[in-house]
A = this chain, B = another copy of it.
């Protein structure tokens, strides 16, 4: 008797449990109902600095959530135009709260820049050095964006009890971007040391 007698249950597997698009949707729907299109905008504007969702994920996930009874879609008409707004159900709130209690799944790290640095000796050091400068500039820009978000949040939601949580997510990005800045500086210096001296 082989082990293939036991059928594979995809829904119970840990691979399936790593789908978190559903929880972004549920979380945003606790704040206000909205259409798929509106959700996409709201994801970009709220959690966009640390979480992105693509279009092709949103629609199927909403359909699944509705089939499972975690959201309810209501069709209505806006002029000649068909609209579909979603709202969270009690079951949806329960599912969200349950997920919030769980340990976050370990996310496999994958850093392409580090991969290039690791194999730097197999390529053009100067070209890679420029990529490090790019990364440093990008970290600067990200810091600016995050400080802007922080100021906006403080100005707009000054007394909202959720503000401290939202600011923490921004703070994470700021600390990370500062660490990246520092690393880029160190790396650029190290690359200058690593290449053969050739003055003009």
Contacts and interface: CB of A to CB of B under 8 A. Distances in A.
Given A50-B110, A100-B124, A110-B50, A190 B168 contact: yes
A182 interface: yes
Main SS at interface, chain A: helix
Interface string A135-173: 100000000000000000000000001101110110110
B122 A104 contact: no
A30 to B, nearest CB: 5
The number of times this chain is found in the oligomer is: 2
Given A119-B27, A120-B165, A50 B97 contact: no
Interface of A: 20, 23-24, 27, 30, 46-47, 49-52, 93, 96-97, 99-101, 103-105, 107-124, 127-128, 131, 134-135, 161-162, 164-166, 168-169, 171-172, 175-176, 178-180, 182-183, 186-187, 190, 193-194
